[in-house]
């Protein structure tokens, strides 16, 4: 069964509804959801006119008149809402969506059943929403709906407060073979709206644009199609993604999906918002590994999970690239196909930041790694990226001084790699020839911030900012003004993503395609 992409039409009057229908078709809608609860002065006649507009498009339509208790826009009386749905069936609507809870009332049920029996092809979607959290027992609710009305299409939608809440929705889609609509709302549920197509949900919803979303976490059609390769998704699509918190800012989906498209791979890269620490990270990967049918095969890992990724791989006796072990952080995980002798899939951990950063430095400065020997370098920050860069520079023999806000963390990193440490207040005394920002200071939206005093920048310095959004940070602007050479985070990003792409596909990515994709999504 092919999932239909439904676009809600949530207009206050007929004219606006007409405009929205046109925009939905232009965006690529495969179905319309006529949210009649958004219409002002709702009447059966008005709804018939809107349905006539929808019918002229030849797209199937779901007519909904949502109860305010379940997310409706205007609180219309129950009698009018059932009148509207009965009239919609008469007017030729392919589907009506009625709240399961309200359908349990005998009066409502009789009305709707009669209207269904009087029309030749209209079908009933029975929906349940939980805007706060998961359902107590989603499988039972699914069975209850089908017991009450076996021909119904159950629609079960709930808010995921954490990405780990989504797995119940995935399981239900996987375990049931009929027509059903299942996904999660909220930022943590975003991926469920995309994966819904892979898992065979009857419908997934997307808005005309970001302003007209009718539910939390609803994506715009343009994002779904262009960024998340919606038209290419099928049951066999292999999944990848960036695990982090936050992940909304990441260029990963744009870059990797553009490269998957280029090589025509049936692969999709998703933003995977995994909030919390090691426990939540472990639970997420356990959820993934125990569901081979989800088809996840690899991950990029970012703040705050790079060390967690390494610990998880150790605990699972996976393969750890020696470099990742030495750095103490992994930014890439791959999951092998199950081996013939075991159902367990092996997880492998890598670090592509190390080489990505070193190559960005040497290629921009047109030097070799050997030229880094004895070079005085100041590294600001002591997090995941700093660890990879300090490990790389220390292997190359550079003389490194680490500056960090949290003294204990900075001192620990310095001790591990035999470097010096100083507090941030000592930055004005820097005597380095290469200055590297490994903090998020200056990153969008805080583009007017810089980690280093402008007056201390010198013409004989090279300045590398790992921040890649914006490509030219305030630090780099001021460094250029001071006559210093600059290295931006985009080059490092492309280098590390190219190495990840090779691990994900065995193929070489086109760096110029990555650059184009990243430039389209940064400010």
Q: Which of 83, 171, 353, 359 is catalytic?
A: 353
Per the annotation, the verdict on 448 as an active-site residue is no
| 282 three-class SS | helix
Q: Which of 4, 306, 326, 401 is catalytic?
A: 306
Find, among 523, 491, 518, 357, the residue nearest to 436 by Cα. 357
**Gap between the Cα atoms of 432 and 422, Å rounded:** 13
Please check whether residue 229 is in contact with residue 198, taking contact to mean a CB–CB distance below 8 angstroms.
Answer: no
Closest separation in Å from C-beta 268 to ligand NAP: 21
**Gap between the Cα atoms of 106 and 492, Å rounded:** 64
User: Which residue lies nearer to ligand NAP by CB, 23 or 303?
Assistant: 303
Q: Which of 4, 129, 198, 305 is catalytic?
A: 129
Closest separation in Å from C-beta 386 to ligand NAP: 6
Which residues 6+ apart lie within 8 Å of 184 measured at CB? 157, 158, 159, 160, 165, 166, 169, 192, 193, 217
Q: What stretches of 239-376 show up as alpha helix (H) in DSSP?
A: 252-262, 278-289, 306-315, 322-327, 353-365
Closest separation in Å from C-beta 121 to ligand NAP: 53
**Gap between the Cα atoms of 46 and 495, Å rounded:** 57
User: Which residue lies nearer to ligand NAP by CB, 60 or 489?
Assistant: 489
Closest separation in Å from C-beta 240 to ligand NAP: 17
Per the annotation, the verdict on 353 as an active-site residue is yes
Token couple for 485: 């050479």
Which residue, chain included where needed, has tokens 């709302």? 185
User: Which residue lies nearer to ligand NAP by CB, 71 or 383?
Assistant: 383
Per the annotation, the verdict on 306 as an active-site residue is yes
Q: Which of 155, 198, 326, 411 is catalytic?
A: 155
User: Which residue lies nearer to ligand NAP by CB, 60 or 244?
Assistant: 244
Token couple for 401: 């001084």
Q: Which residues lie near ligand NAP (CB under 6 A)? A: 303-304, 353, 356, 381-386, 404-406, 409, 438-441, 443, 466-468, 489, 492-493, 496
Closest separation in Å from C-beta 313 to ligand NAP: 17
**Gap between the Cα atoms of 191 and 163, Å rounded:** 8
User: Which residue lies nearer to ligand NAP by CB, 188 or 443?
Assistant: 443
For every residue of 162-173, DSSP letters joined together read: SGGGGHHHHHHH
Catalytically annotated residues: 129, 155, 306, 353
């Amino acid at each position: 069964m092919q999932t239909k992409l439904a676009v809600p039409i949530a207009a206050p009057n007929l004219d606006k509804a007409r405009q929205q229908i046109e925009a939905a078709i232009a965006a690529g809608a495969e179905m319309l959801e006529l949210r009649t609860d958004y219409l002002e002065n709702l009447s059966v006649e008005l709804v018939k006119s809107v349905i006539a507009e929808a019918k002229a498009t030849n797209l199937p339509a779901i007519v909904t008149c949502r109860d305010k208790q379940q997310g409706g826009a205007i609180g219309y009386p129950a009698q009018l809402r059932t009148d509207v749905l009965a009239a919609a069936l008469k007017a030729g609507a392919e589907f009506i969506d009625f709240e399961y809870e309200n359908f349990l009332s005998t009066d409502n049920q009789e009305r709707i059943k009669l209207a269904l029996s009087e029309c030749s092809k209209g079908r009933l979607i029975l929906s349940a929403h939980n805007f706060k959290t998961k359902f107590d027992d989603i499988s039972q609710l699914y069975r209850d709906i089908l017991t009450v009305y076996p021909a119904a299409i159950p629609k079960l939608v709930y808010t995921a407060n954490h990405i780990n809440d989504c797995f119940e929705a995935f399981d239900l889609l996987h375990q049931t073979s009929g027509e059903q609509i299942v996904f999660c709302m909220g930022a943590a549920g975003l991926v469920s709206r995309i994966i819904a197509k892979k898992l065979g949900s009857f419908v997934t919803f997307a808005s005309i644009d970001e302003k007209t979303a009718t539910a939390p976490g609803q994506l715009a059609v343009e994002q779904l199609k262009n960024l998340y390769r919606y038209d290419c998704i099928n049951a066999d699509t292999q999944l990848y993604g960036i695990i982090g918190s936050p992940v909304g800012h990441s260029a990963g989906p744009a870059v990797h999906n553009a490269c998957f498209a280029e090589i025509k791979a049936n692969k999709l890269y998703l933003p995977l918002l995994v909030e919390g620490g090691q426990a939540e990270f472990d639970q997420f990967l356990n959820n993934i590994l125990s569901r081979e049918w989800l088809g996840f095969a690899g991950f990029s890992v970012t703040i705050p999970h790079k060390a967690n990724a390494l610990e998880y791989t150790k605990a699972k006796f996976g393969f750890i690239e020696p470099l990742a072990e030495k750095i103490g952080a992994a930014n890439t995980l791959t999951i092998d196909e199950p081996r013939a002798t075991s159902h367990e899939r092996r997880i492998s951990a890598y670090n592509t930041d190390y080489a990505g950063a070193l190559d960005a430095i040497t290629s921009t400065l047109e030097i070799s790694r050997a030229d880094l020997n004895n070079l005085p370098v100041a590294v600001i920050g002591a997090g995941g990226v700093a660890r990879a860069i300090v490990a790389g520079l220390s292997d190359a023999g550079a003389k490194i001084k680490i500056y960090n806000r949290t003294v204990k963390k900075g001192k620990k990193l310095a001790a591990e790699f035999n470097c010096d440490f100083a507090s941030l207040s000592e930055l004005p005394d820097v005597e380095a020839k290469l200055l590297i920002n490994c903090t998020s200071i200056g990153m969008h939206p805080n583009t007017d911030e810089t980690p280093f005093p402008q007056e201390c920048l010198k013409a004989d310095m090279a300045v590398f900012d790992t921040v890649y959004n914006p490509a030219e940070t305030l630090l780099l602007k001021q460094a250029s003004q001071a006559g210093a050479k600059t290295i931006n985070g985009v080059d490092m990003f492309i280098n590390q993503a190219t190495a990840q792409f090779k691990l994900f596909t065995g193929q070489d990515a086109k760096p110029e395609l990555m650059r184009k994709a990243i430039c389209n999504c940064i400010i």
